[in-house]
Structure 1
Amino acid sequence: MAQSMELLRRTLGVVWFLGQIYILYYPPIPMLVRPLHVMMATALVVLWFPLRDWRERGSPILPLIDLSIIGALIAATAYYVLRADYLTERMENVDPVLLSDIVFGVLTLFLTCEAVRRVLGWNLLSVIIVFVAYCWAGPWLPGWLHFQGFDFPEFIEIMSMAGHGVFGITTETSVTLVFYFLAFSAMYTVVGGTELFMDVAIKLVGRYPGGAAKAEVVSSALFGTVSGSAVANVTATGSFTIPLMMRTGYSREAAAAHEAIASTGGQLMPPVMGVAAFVMADILRMPYSQIALAATLPAIAYFGSLYVLVHLNALRSGIGSLPIADIDAIAPVLRRIALLLPPAALIGAFASGYDASMAAVVGMVVAWACSYLPGGRPLTPSRFLEMMDDCARQASAVAIPIAAIGIIIAVAVQSNLAIKFSTQMLSLSGGTLIGSLAFVALGIVVLGMGLPTVAAYVIGAILFVPALQKLGVDVLASHFFVLFFAVLSMVTPPVALASYTAAGIAKANANKTGLYAFLLGLPSFLIPVAFVYKPAILFIGSPGNIVLAGIMLLCGTSAWTVMIAGYLDRALSIVERMLFAVLAMLLILSPFDLAGDLASVGAFLMLTGWCFRHRLSGRRHHQTLPGRE
């Protein structure tokens, strides 16, 4: 049976991959392709995460349950294929909900929730259960939580018969965008591109203090350009970089923490950001390329501040560079340099006006061609099958949570919970912007505990963004603020998924790793505040404003990083650290006019120069010694 199930899984993966390529050129009606997408993902989740491993011997009951679920999936798929035209043409809240609609609607919700449980456990499923319960508990709840509730046919109609619920906008994002970028990432990995990123990073920064951790930061930034999952980034790079860091003097917890915080930033790095960014593009009805462009400066600030903190900590702790043997051999990198072309082609396709999914396909075609160039790993038929299988595994694990989040969106929107919640939030925060930002940040971090980033982002966008917009925050900045803290929740204790994954690789204490990663990420917590006060950071406004906002962001995060490290060429005094903290706030919050902003930048540069004065004066003295003219 094990071989049969593996063959079925691989076959479904191939069919799904080829089907997605087909619909890119010949798109069917949404109420056909969205159910097919969810059913295919659910079937693959059942095969990838069975109740009991098919190869184990024992009671046949659990495998029979899995087979029954697959049978139910076949029936549900047939129903949606046969009823696709009807579901497209029917009038919501006018046409009746039939008994067959209710039966298959309930079946669809059950299958989706069971798939969520298998992929993510009970965390997201518990949130879904709370929102679904609200549909019937509403009439008995007090105050602003009260609403009239739904009857059962109305609930089924919302959740499984229209462009809401399981087959809503989030599933559409998975169908039209996410799958293709996961396919590009899978293909680029198979042809050997990700190993090149690590080699490039080691050659660039391995010779400097803290070289192993710096190589991790740079490689994660590079890998983040083609992968948008924190846990996937940790898994892909951590098995190599964590032992490397431990070998050069980092503790197990420190090595795992550096891996976690660097890999988490991959969700913010264009052009292939995290799944939440694709969902954001659909919610805002913006081209994904505009979202990717807006993320550029925040991503640079994220990795730049982390690199500076790694450097300062290494100087203070006396952690040296990588062994010379690891950084001198440049030939292997040059031999594979052509593998940098696929990400470049992806970016070029964006710049040329291709839509996001087609740009991903262009990147895949270039990756396939580059695999046959010197240094590449030829994409043979067996490797191509491996790539499709890996793509299907990743896509199914992403599509299911995305579809399930549609249930939460439908409840929050249809019950007006989102509007009522935002009103209450403004009341609790006193109607002040800084108070509301603190409330939202805390709320997102709490929501993100144990949830995937996309779930934390979507729930946060529904509940918090309306309140921020009422306070005058730009709509794109509001969504990016929520996204940033949803990403940072991956390394925020007590439940930090990226940190725990890295701790498992390093065999480190998970709680200590999570706390260490949180401390390393502290400079990044100022970045979302910065683009709320200066939306030009997100490429909104004139070129001059964008340049100034970018400079202030980099100076502000650098000042905050120096304050946290307490070191800059030497240990800083309390007064110096406080001055850097004040300058960081002035640069981030930007309370002045243009002259005041420029003065803040100048003050930061002067204070930095003051801290380096001993080295600079020593260098001048050394250059003027007798006999050195």
Structure 2
Amino acid sequence: MTAASPDKSVLSPKFLLGVGFVLFQVWILLNPQQPLFERPVHLVFALLLLFLYQPLSSESLSRPVRIAIDAAMIVATLGVGAYYLLEFDRLTTRMENVSPVFDLDIWAGVVLVALLLEGARRAVGWILVGVLAVFIAYAFWGNLLPGWLSFRGFGLDAAIEISTMTTAGVLGITTSTSVSFIFYFIMFGAFYSAAGGGQLFIDLAVRVAGRATGGTAKAAVISSSLMGSISGSAVANVVSTGVLTIPLMKRTGVPSHRAAGIEAIASTGGQLMPPIMGVAAFIMAEMLNVPYARIALAGLIPAVAFYLALLLVVDLTARRDGVRAMTAEEVAAVDPILPRLHLLLPPLILIGALVSGYSAAYSAVIASVSCFVMPFLRRNTWIGWSALIDGLREAPRQAAEVAVPIASIGLVIAVAVQSNLALKFAGSLVALAEGSIFLSLALAMVGCIIMGMGLPTVAAYIIGAVLFVPAIQNIGVDPLAAHFFIFYYCVLSMVTPPVALASFAAAAVGDAPVMKTSWSAFGLSLVAFFVPFSFIFDPAVLWQGTAIEILLGALAMLTSTALWAIAFAGWCGRSLGWTARAVIGASGLVAVIAPAGSFAWTIGFVTGWAMALAVFLAARRRAPLTAKLAD
């Protein structure tokens, strides 16, 4: 074990602090504490690590000034932590809106909010800070706004109390989810990747799909779906798998922007793929007060349909554009899979523990420990101390980069709920849609996409759930379907121009034009773009109903999204004209949205597949004739 630089040293403050973060999380899992102890300490760890791993980088400031500012941030974070520990007894026994708010509470609250704003800026950029600033301003000056937006506003005492002194606001559901779920699954993803699991996924995908038409692109889709379901972060997945899959695609003739776009959408879709899905899925479970396993089960059919449709688009466009498959020599150059197959055990252990009834956090810890046991089952996969160190470094760092932004979103929830903005927004949306369920859903869809531009999925989902879910439920939509509808569009916003974080990351990795990459990824995302509407009209696709209804719903979704994919690829044995694409696309869209077995679904299904089959058979008849004329 070597330490080439202070950043890599096991004695560096950031590494030791990260190990402390991991140990703290394991300790509170085994010995649960009061929320007003667990959540502030968790947040202090996250802020400290964020400021250490992402020091101030402004070029307009001299290095000594930057160091001084970072030191002040760290000291202020420690001060906030000391406040919560010293005032723990008072904070846990006080009565909200009755007990007094002291000057110390105000100072600590203001400092914490400032730290969260700066932490959010360093973690995800200015857009989230702008959103937070708007809600903070609304909390104080909402009385200046017209119409239904107007409310009396909060005083400083009330604002601090609801934001930082109770198990609401920044110490509410968002931080609770980070403490209870997110940290442990991020830890598992980091440990599994360090133990060689990420490389195994890529190599396995190459072995399975490399020799097929468009094999490298299919391998990217498969590996990114597997790794994305574990990492839970589109950008992190792009960076970790894209460095291998994008160059691989480019070598077989896939243009750089398309290779980057495929990686972006495949990595983004990992947040939709059970068993782990994305961070937002855990928050959904908390908001709906249902077991996470219920969320994962509901997401299974749509996620499978999404990835099968994406694979179909990749296959058809490769045939259309003449993209070559990998050669036998290129596939053979990949390390053998069989001697490493035991490395698939940690994800299986995770799934098995969840199915067996263990809590999500406990299951993730068991699976995390197995990541450093399974490699020693065979001599060829033995790992050294460096793998453990990498996992211990990456797990708390990644957790901190998630914990701080989503804790800051607690400010949005506190203001939106306490000001009654959420309910008033829901009422105005229903009024604007004039009772039309399609218009209400379309407005919510657009709102989620706009909010998701530049925000992490989890941040966009939380805001969307607060503002849009009540409105959708007001028109009679089931709560699970309403949340999944918002969740899907917030996920897809990661590849929606003009601001698409996953696409931007993929373009940087693949040295591709940014906007061409964004539009390419967005085009590929269209195979799933209208799937959320089916959640509303056919609950069977979310695993609600009898076994027969669920089976029919699954088959209907798979075949309907396939039609949609054919239309977007523009190929069905030969290039499709615009008329054929329009007919197949419109039929597929109707079949995707309409409930399985309904009259509308039957018309769409029959019309679309009849047109696709006619084009395919015409192409097959023409092929022998062309070959005969050539002879």
With over 3 angstroms needed to count, the CA separation of the structure-2 counterparts of 1:347 and 1:62, relative to structure 1, is: same
> What is the letter of the counterpart of residue 47 of structure 2?
T
Match of 2:615 among 583, 604, 611: 611
Structure 1 residue aligned with 2:629: none
Structure 2 residue aligned with 1:272: 276
Secondary structure at the residue paired with 2:571?
coil
With over 3 angstroms needed to count, the CA separation of the structure-2 counterparts of 1:69 and 1:5, relative to structure 1, is: farther
Determine if contact 2:583/2:608 at 8 Å carries over to the other structure. no
Match of 1:361 among 362, 365, 369: 365
> What is the letter of the counterpart of residue 158 of structure 1?
I
What is the CA-CA distance between 1:606 and the residue it aligns to?
Answer: 4.0
1:372 corresponds to 2:376:
yes
Match of 2:83 among 72, 79, 83: 79
Q: In structure 2, what is the Cα distance between the partners aligned to 1:308 and 1:345? A: 31
1:340 corresponds to 2:344:
yes
Structure 1 residue aligned with 2:628: none
Q: In structure 2, what is the Cα distance between the partners aligned to 1:379 and 1:528? A: 43
Secondary structure at the residue paired with 1:63?
helix
Secondary structure at the residue paired with 2:527?
helix
User: In the TM superposition, what are the counterparts of 1:32-431 in structure 2 within 5 Å?
Assistant: 32-52=37-57, 59-328=63-332, 332-374=336-378, 377-378=381-382, 380-431=384-435
What is the CA-CA distance between 1:390 and the residue it aligns to?
Answer: 0.6
What is the CA-CA distance between 1:615 and the residue it aligns to?
Answer: 6.4
Structure 1 residue aligned with 2:442: 438
Determine if contact 1:191/1:376 at 8 Å carries over to the other structure. no
Q: In structure 2, what is the Cα distance between the partners aligned to 1:595 and 1:489? A: 32
Partner deviation per Cα, 1:519-576 (whole Å, 9 max, x = no partner) = 1111110211111211111111111111111111111111111111221111224443
1:484 corresponds to 2:488:
yes
Q: In structure 1, what is the Cα distance between the partners aligned to 2:380 and 2:114? A: 45
What is the CA-CA distance between 1:589 and the residue it aligns to?
Answer: 2.5
Determine if contact 2:202/2:219 at 8 Å carries over to the other structure. yes
1:461 corresponds to 2:465:
yes
What is the CA-CA distance between 1:178 and the residue it aligns to?
Answer: 0.2
Q: In structure 2, what is the Cα distance between the partners aligned to 1:312 and 1:614? A: 17
Q: In structure 2, what is the Cα distance between the partners aligned to 1:5 and 1:187? A: 16
Q: Which runs of 5+ in 2 are unaligned?
A: 626-631
Structure 2 residue aligned with 1:624: none
Determine if contact 2:213/2:319 at 8 Å carries over to the other structure. yes
Q: Give the stretch that moved more between structures: 360-369 or 411-420.
A: 360-369
Q: In structure 2, what is the Cα distance between the partners aligned to 1:443 and 1:88? A: 37
Q: In structure 1, what is the Cα distance between the partners aligned to 2:287 and 2:330? A: 46
What is the CA-CA distance between 1:48 and the residue it aligns to?
Answer: 0.6
Determine if contact 2:261/2:521 at 8 Å carries over to the other structure. yes
Q: TM-score, normalised by structure 1?
A: 0.94
Secondary structure at the residue paired with 2:290?
coil
Q: In structure 2, what is the Cα distance between the partners aligned to 1:463 and 1:18? A: 37
Secondary structure at the residue paired with 1:225?
helix
Equivalenced residue count is: 619
Q: In structure 1, what is the Cα distance between the partners aligned to 2:486 and 2:142? A: 27
> What is the letter of the counterpart of residue 78 of structure 1?
A
With over 3 angstroms needed to count, the CA separation of the structure-2 counterparts of 1:546 and 1:8, relative to structure 1, is: same
Determine if contact 1:253/1:508 at 8 Å carries over to the other structure. yes
> What is the letter of the counterpart of residue 42 of structure 2?
H
What is the CA-CA distance between 1:338 and the residue it aligns to?
Answer: 0.4
With over 3 angstroms needed to count, the CA separation of the structure-2 counterparts of 1:375 and 1:455, relative to structure 1, is: farther
1:508 corresponds to 2:507:
no
Q: In structure 2, what is the Cα distance between the partners aligned to 1:337 and 1:619? A: 42
What is the CA-CA distance between 1:267 and the residue it aligns to?
Answer: 0.9
Determine if contact 1:202/1:326 at 8 Å carries over to the other structure. no
Determine if contact 1:405/1:455 at 8 Å carries over to the other structure. yes
1:20 corresponds to 2:16:
no
Secondary structure at the residue paired with 2:369?
helix
Q: TM-score, normalised by structure 2?
A: 0.94
Q: In structure 1, what is the Cα distance between the partners aligned to 2:504 and 2:124? A: 14
Secondary structure at the residue paired with 2:372?
helix
Structure 2 residue aligned with 1:626: none
Determine if contact 1:205/1:211 at 8 Å carries over to the other structure. yes
Determine if contact 2:285/2:292 at 8 Å carries over to the other structure. yes
What is the CA-CA distance between 1:383 and the residue it aligns to?
Answer: 2.7
Match of 1:30 among 35, 54, 77: 35
What is the CA-CA distance between 1:186 and the residue it aligns to?
Answer: 0.7
> What is the letter of the counterpart of residue 51 of structure 1?
L
Q: Give the stretch that moved more between structures: 342-351 or 609-618.
A: 609-618
> What is the letter of the counterpart of residue 10 of structure 1?
F
Q: Which runs of 5+ in 1 are unaligned?
A: 622-629
> What is the letter of the counterpart of residue 418 of structure 2?
Q
Structure 1 residue aligned with 2:589: 585
1:449 corresponds to 2:485:
no
With over 3 angstroms needed to count, the CA separation of the structure-2 counterparts of 1:220 and 1:152, relative to structure 1, is: same
With over 3 angstroms needed to count, the CA separation of the structure-2 counterparts of 1:89 and 1:125, relative to structure 1, is: same
What is the CA-CA distance between 1:578 and the residue it aligns to?
Answer: 3.0
Secondary structure at the residue paired with 1:444?
helix
Q: In structure 2, what is the Cα distance between the partners aligned to 1:76 and 1:578? A: 59
What is the CA-CA distance between 1:386 and the residue it aligns to?
Answer: 2.2
Q: In structure 2, what is the Cα distance between the partners aligned to 1:606 and 1:344? A: 41
Match of 1:531 among 535, 547, 552: 535
> What is the letter of the counterpart of residue 584 of structure 1?
G
Q: In structure 1, what is the Cα distance between the partners aligned to 2:494 and 2:11? A: 32
What is the CA-CA distance between 1:100 and the residue it aligns to?
Answer: 1.1
Match of 2:567 among 558, 563, 566: 563
Determine if contact 1:339/1:370 at 8 Å carries over to the other structure. yes
Q: In structure 1, what is the Cα distance between the partners aligned to 2:599 and 2:137? A: 55
> What is the letter of the counterpart of residue 318 of structure 1?
G
Q: In structure 1, what is the Cα distance between the partners aligned to 2:6 and 2:383? A: 27
